[in-house]
């Protein structure tokens, strides 16, 4: 064990720990959930610490090159995934995220001390506050790291997952382009469509949600780094903010901008509400798509049974041979969690006071966790469900051809009221639309055959855009 000192006194902590006394106080104060900051958030924070150190050297604020080199090396190691077990603050902690910022500062400082041959916890040559946190405050670095983490999770996780699922839907759109089925509106029989058109609609939904998320990504790209404690930039060297943004853009290969108003960037969590609102919007359509797929796959003997989902596990501990839509049930639960996460972020956004929103830790957790699990769920859905779907073409065609809604195609020929009369007679007598129309001599047989071609009904001409 070793003893460290801060403004509140002394505290004992494990000698092999890279974190220090302020982290240890947070561990003791906040044993709330056992949940730790997302690894991508830690990476983003380390990228920021590295960029800030580089700029401190360039501006002359940090003059000792050996210290700067050691800090940068420590940051690079954290970025590479080392010391993950040293980031131990609970996600539910004191406001603003000071505990997590100091956890980073202390791990970086102690690793940097080790690099230059000094014992951990001495802090004489390299200090968590004076060197690692130079020109910084939790109040500007934490929201900046949050933005970077969101950007990383969008680029490297969510967008590829959305593309993968959209591509899986597109493949099924093509595969089932001639698989005719009955559409259903109000859960009642409607005019014929193809199963491919159904999948094509789901593909388009995802593509549009990606556009909305891209707009939110642009909002996240404006950084408030350099605002320091309250937005005024106190204790930061001239040109610091612009240089940090430039270096971060290069390190992470993002087009980042400096916020026009650093006070706003510290007070407002609107960019995170924007992102989470777009994510929730996407999750709501995923819930709708999942419900649709489970409905048309229901059965196998007493439901729609128009498609078969891949069997991934036995579905019951008591009913032998039962197979459930397990993947779709999973993605639905994840989507529900995303909806809840968005609500938490929205409430946190309005809970700030004056020059700082102190609710950032709960926003960070919900944003990162929601982006991660939603990305994973979409990818799993693509790979273990959508790509393996098969169609029961005969059953779908039977439903389509026996639907009284086929009369819709005859309405322009015989009028709406007469068409409705025939539809009701068809339902009452269980006779087909074709049989009744021919019996009444309303339309010649050849003409009727052409009009009632169910596949042709799905190919109605659309106006040019």
CB 338 within 8 A of CB 283: yes
Backbone angles phi, psi at 184, to 5 degrees: -135, 125
CB 50 within 8 A of CB 39: no
Catalytic residue among 33, 316, 332, 405: 316
Report helix angle 21-29 to 98-115, nearest 10. Answer: 140
Residue 383: how many other CB atoms lie within 10 Å: 15
Q: Is 207 exposed, middle or buried (0-12, 13-18, 19+ CB in 10 A)?
A: middle
Cα diameter, the chain: 101
**Sequence-ordered list of residues with C-beta below 8 angstroms from that of 84, at least 6 positions apart, any chain:** 39, 42
User: For residue 309, how far is the Cα from the chain centroid?
Assistant: 25
47-81 burial: b if 16+ Cβ within 10 Å, else e: bbbbbbbbbbbbeebbeeeebbebbbbbbebbbee
d(CA 333, CA 339): 10
Q: Is 253 exposed, middle or buried (0-12, 13-18, 19+ CB in 10 A)?
A: exposed
Pairing of strands 188-194, 180-185: antiparallel
**Sequence-ordered list of residues with C-beta below 8 angstroms from that of 367, at least 6 positions apart, any chain:** 146, 149, 150, 272, 275, 276, 341, 345
Backbone angles phi, psi at 353, to 5 degrees: -130, 130
Question: Is 316 annotated in the active site?
Answer: yes
Active site residues: 316
């Amino acid at each position: 064990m070793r003893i460290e000192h801060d403004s509140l006194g002394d505290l004992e902590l494990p000698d092999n720990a890279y974190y220090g006394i302020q982290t240890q106080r947070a561990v003791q104060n906040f044993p709330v959930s056992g949940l730790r900051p997302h690894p991508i958030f830690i990476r983003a924070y380390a990228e920021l610490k590295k960029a800030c150190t580089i700029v401190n050297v360039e501006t002359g604020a940090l003059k000792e090159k050996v210290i700067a080199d050691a800090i940068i090396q420590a940051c690079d190691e954290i970025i590479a995934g080392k010391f993950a077990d040293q980031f131990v603050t609970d996600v539910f902690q004191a406001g603003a995220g000071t505990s997590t910022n100091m956890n980073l500062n202390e791990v970086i400082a102690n690793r940097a001390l080790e690099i230059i041959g000094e014992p951990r916890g001495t802090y004489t040559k390299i200090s968590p506050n004076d060197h690692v946190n130079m020109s910084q405050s939790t109040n500007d670095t934490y929201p900046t790291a949050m933005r970077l983490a969101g950007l990383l999770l969008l680029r490297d996780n969510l967008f590829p997952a959305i593309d993968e699922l959209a591509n899986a839907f597109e493949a099924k759109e093509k595969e089932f382009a001639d698989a005719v089925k009955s559409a259903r509106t109000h859960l009642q029989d409607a005019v014929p469509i193809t199963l491919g058109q159904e999948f094509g609609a789901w593909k388009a939904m995802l593509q549009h949600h990606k556009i909305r998320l891209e707009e939110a990504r642009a909002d996240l790209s404006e950084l408030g780094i350099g605002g320091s404690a309250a937005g005024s930039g106190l204790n930061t060297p001239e040109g610091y903010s612009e240089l940090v943004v430039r270096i971060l853009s290069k390190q992470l290969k993002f087009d980042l901008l400096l916020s026009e108003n650093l006070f706003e960037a510290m007070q407002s969590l609107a960019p995170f509400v924007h992102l989470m609102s777009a994510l929730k919007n996407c999750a709501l359509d995923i819930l709708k798509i999942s419900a649709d797929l489970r409905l048309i796959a229901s059965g196998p003997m007493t439901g729609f049974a128009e498609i078969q989902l891949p069997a991934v596990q036995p579905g019951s501990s008591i009913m032998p041979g039962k197979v459930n839509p397990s993947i779709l049930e999973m993605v639905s639960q994840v989507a529900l969690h995303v909806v809840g996460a968005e609500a938490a972020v929205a409430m946190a956004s309005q809970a700030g006071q004056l020059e700082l929103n102190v609710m950032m830790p709960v926003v960070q957790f919900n944003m990162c966790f929601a982006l991660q699990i939603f990305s994973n769920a979409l990818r799993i859905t693509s790979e273990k469900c959508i790509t393996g779907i098969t169609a029961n073409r005969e059953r779908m065609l039977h439903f389509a051809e026996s639907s009284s809604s086929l009369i819709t195609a005859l309405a322009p020929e015989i009028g709406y009221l007469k068409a409705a009369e025939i539809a009701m007679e068809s339902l009452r007598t269980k006779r087909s639309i074709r049989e009744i129309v021919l019996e009444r001599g309303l339309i010649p047989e050849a003409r009727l055959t052409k009009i009632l071609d169910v596949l042709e009904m799905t190919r109605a001409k659309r106006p040019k855009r």
